[in-house]
Structure 1
């Protein structure tokens, strides 16, 4: 019950600050993150297909929704890539891995974002914006 009340308060805050378009963007972001998670599990990066986000809103609002929605770094990078592509900002998703002897881990980010982990990782994949996402 407390979680549901907290979620409703957060949605009311978004609506007050950003209006109905901001609320629509938050809903799109959360649904897109879930969709990306399912698509990655079924078919990898090539299976990722996302509808265009609604007009308006900011990247900061998308990042905030992704943080609260629990998306991992790859899901978040792909959702933000789609959001930004709609606004004609083309950003490449970068995936990097650490050396096995350093306790292997992987991380994804958008090229150009400040990321404290990327200097410790070797890039293994760069995924440009899919042509279908371009306006």
Structure 2
């Protein structure tokens, strides 16, 4: 019950600060992250299909929602890629890995975003925004 009360308070706070469109963006981001997770399991990167996000909101709002939503770096990067594509900004998802001897680590981010991990990793994949995502 306490979790439900906390969630309702958070939704009310988002609505007060960002209005109904901000709330719609947060809900879209959280649902999109769950959808991406399922799609990646079923068919990998090629299976990722996301509906367009609602208008409004900011990338900071989407990033905060994803940070609290429990998604991993790849899921978050793909959702952000879709969010930016709706705004006619093509962003590339980059996936990098560490050297095998140093305890394997993989990470994903959007090209151009500052990320403290990217300099320690070797890029293995760059995935541009799908053309169907760009209006």
TM-score over 0.5 for the alignment?
yes
Q: Give the alignment of 1:1-135 within 5 angstroms.
A: 1-135=1-135
- Using the alignment, how far apart are the partners of 1:68 and 1:5 within structure 2? 16
TM superposition score normalised by structure 1: 0.99
CA distance in 2, matches of 1:92, 1:124: 13
The two structures have a TM-score, normalised by structure 2, of: 0.99
**Gap runs ≥5 in structure 1:** none
RMSD of Structure 2 on Structure 1 (CA): 0.5
Please report how far the alpha carbon of residue 28 of structure 1 lies from its aligned counterpart in structure 2 after TM superposition: 0.5
Q: Distance in 2 between matches of 1:115 and 1:50?
A: 24
Between the aligned partners of 2:109 and 2:39, the Cα distance in structure 1 is 18
Measure the CA separation in 1 of the matches of 2:14 and 2:80.
18
- What residue ranges of structure 2 are gaps of 5+ in the alignment? none
Total equivalences in the alignment = 135
- What's the offset of the Cα at 1:16? 0.1
